[in-house]
A and B are shown apart, each in its own frame.
Chain A
């Protein structure tokens, strides 16, 4: 039951990495350790935990306030869900409409079935311009495909221009948050990265750079300004694509995106096919819910929209690469498809108690946190250690569902994917319906669940078992063997009662079983 033998879109191959090491985005999921192992490292890292706790709690509280301000939040949430569901149900129609509109406005549309194809298309487009440098902004899709590594292999340097992405890139690191990719870094660490690494990429950081946020931002601004003014080609993503007009929409806070999207001659946008919305008017919902959910702002500082090309204004060539990479397969799954509604606001990460302690890297993907736990095993399949353990990386506390601005029932999808891992079942891979076999390593659990159910389905036997347990109460061990050890490592077992409730009832209230 590996991903490759089902013909899943492959990620660029990479050497295996030990847990805790830094590795490039887009590394194959086989290279990542199982979630519990990766999380174990993170839990032990006090600096990381403090960084994450401070950052997530601040954003989480602000988001709650920003959302409470809107009296019609629940209706906006329902409307966002409805628009996305409708679009996904008629995705073929809206994508074709989008293609026609973009083409009519002077853009060129490319279709990429998987990561490799997307990288090939973008690489060829850049090479055709004769340039060997690109500036990049706002693109999780190209992190998903591992575009930077593909470009590098073709002799093209890619510069991330989003401040946090820049920190990640300079630090030879991976993003650990959707919106704040360097959330795991504090000011000290960022200053050190700037001081040692900036010179190797372009304009160096000032000798005496301190850790004041304004100073750090200024150093980044000067470093990036040089890149913006020189770059002839930009690669971006998009938050939304409007089918009726062919308009692309990018929301951001820094203005670096605006530079990327307007200054270069050639703009290449790589966007997941689920990002389309039918009409311009639909944006009124998401332009309200996205900023409030992600940065807790009423409105984000920069919203850039462009429709194809315009003479003498902005890039003279525009290419849109529509990326599938497992999305159509995900769409085929009735329970799992709701993950495609995601607008990448990251609210679910900020409220997730598991994310807060495990950190983003443990999720082994560009999509961390609760959304990553349901998206990665669908886009990549459940064949690798990380993808088979992600559905269990949750207590099912439901905090993610509560804040999600498009009402994705993440716990429901997690349970659904657990079933796929533990029991196997029907799944679509590369457009073909196949039946997955249960994953390895669940045999004992499966037997235990079955035995428990058989016992629980026979109250007579259950009562006998309970009585035996009560009789063994003096034996209460400090450590349990097998999987139970994970309980007793940090927790004392409860005292066993002298008799089960049903015996008390029988004696005291006397109805016959």
Chain B
């Protein structure tokens, strides 16, 4: 087995070749069907309004127009559901107003689609959209999460409140947490905002549907991270199209970061339109639509308290969070601020008391849902900012304070005070490594050098633990999930010995086409090049819940392992027959099946051929063919963790922050392809630094999104970011999946924002400014103002 293609090798990515040659096939690149028509949406320009009337008659008569849809056309179909049912503290189920395909009765955010035109060309459809006469009576916009709770102006009149739920975690711990805080020697309090972000995958969404009347079948090509989940939502909840009549294909997808997990109304619209007009119908989002309608991320307003004894031992964390869910519940919107956030609020610490209260609030803004990290960045930011503030108040070193409270390696499995059982970790080892590779000892000299240039230099540190590998179906079912969160894989050994591996995970940058073959080739002792991955097409793969929550390797990769194990087990039987030995006497190594203690052997290829040409084959005992499927449901979450640090320079004259050094030391368990894992961390760091310093989705009080283009939304560019120092040598394998893998996709975005903010605060303090907090993004204006008001 060539060492450079197996588990642990930095195999170069095979998918790169087509992308580098411009031969990727993203949805918008698919050659147009001969009958292709275009869909364009009419979108609300007001944040909150009553639809008095929509007159489509002029639009309908315009050249090239094939059909015009309004909300009334979908009055009889279902709403796009929330995937997770949350109960409030009083036991009441959350409020779940319908999210229709097209707005009906009311528009609820700028960009909310209330009509759509299907025409021969996109230009004709656009012109016809202009001709739709919509009489929309504008109402005051509901924008502030706290004010919304006392307002009698409702986003959804039928529920009579703007509160979706008021969740307590863990409600039974509330009193003990309150008592611990009351009696504590020291309490640090911090109020903070976790800024709203726009995911901004570089490929805008695109959906294209066709309908075949002869067989009553639909095909939907769409930019999705999880085609089966999209099919399930469309079939079971929204359109009622039977799953066996709907194929969903997500070809090459240009990034997702969460925003392409969800089913969106545009997908349902093009399906309905394809049937109505009997044509292929395609919609491609432009960037402005993406800003207005892709699910946004974060947007929490939080108060956190940390109680300690006089020596700095943590006694309790208590948080109160207002989570903006936007105008409608997106599919994971209710899970993100609760079970992906509240359950992580014990962090890396042995703290005995944790209580989290989250009020989810409807506002007249785009829906908010999981974005890279999803809840865990919010948890980590709150914890690691308040810990830093506490260290300063107690006069303790921020690293020492964290170490003092870390869970120790001999305490695993560890039942956290927020209700999870961490299986493995070694936070001190991560911190040691971080101090080493970041050259923390050299910071003082670097600070001096900065100061001699008139710059303030700060050092920030951070620890995190997250829950990935989402998720044990049993557990999430108890917690309110409406789906199971296993994954599936089929390994098909073809007669000539090459393999097709069908996986439920979907790659939109993660390199699955390279990594899954590394695993299979390692297990079977065959050339990775003879193994192909098939993904993203519900007609070709068994099932799958897709890619998000850093789950592809830990969950789907485990399914690949299980399916490959089944292949080996069956192949051993076939080999046993070929070698006239019991299968229990067959040993499989390096691609050869041999009879233990003899020199008799057959190769994997010979067994494969035998399976498909079953002459002289024990047909009674063994079926011909060599293809196995496994569904893998994890026993627990996985718990990646890390120690990060960062050094910034702040220009005291302008408030401009420059990240000079950024170090990420992560425990991802066993690593399959270090090159790809490092790349995942880099990407997360870029997004995390972006959140800390640059990015903000800003609505004005009328509900207009002021940052709705790359002119106003500050995307991190190459010269905003440094080279990163990344290490994952301190992995403690996950104890419950066969790969020992934990997941790496979100780590960088979780660990970096508090690190950067901690460093900026340290820089300002070093300059004698008593600034204890600045809300992200730390723009020059905010930093300068904080310094000058301190």
To the question of whether A and B form a pair in one complex, the answer is: no
